[in-house]
Homo-oligomer: A and B are copies of this chain.
Amino acid sequence: MDRVYIERILKAVKQGKLTPGQAVRELAHCYESLGFAKVDVGRELRTGVAEAVLCEGKTGEQVVAIARAVHKRSGRLLATRASRETYEAVKRALPKAVYNEAARLIVVGGRRTKGRGRIAVVTGGTSDIPVAEEAAATCEFMGNRVERIYDVGVAGIHRLFGHLDDLKQASVVVVVAGMEGALASVVSGLVSVPVVGVPTSVGYGASFKGLASLLGMLNSCAPGVTVVNIDNGFGAGVAASLINQKR
Interface, chain A (partner B; CB < 8 A)? 29-31, 35-38, 40, 42-43, 46-49, 51-52, 54, 56-58, 62, 66, 81, 117, 124-127, 129, 150-159, 162, 171-172, 178-182, 185-186, 188-194, 196, 199, 201-232, 234-236, 238-239, 242-244, 246-247
Report the copy number of this chain in the oligomer.
Answer: 8
Docked CA distance A205–B52 (Å): 19
The answer to whether B194 and A246 have CB atoms under 8 Å apart is yes
Closest Cβ neighbor of A62 among chain B residues = B126
The answer to whether A221 and B125 have CB atoms under 8 Å apart is yes
Docked CA distance A236–B194 (Å): 11
Contacts of A127 in B (CB 8 A): 54, 56-58
Pick the contact of A158: B30, B56, B117 (CB < 8 A).
Answer: B30
Pick the contact of A189: B155, B201, B223, B226 (CB < 8 A).
Answer: B155
Docked CA distance A158–B48 (Å): 16
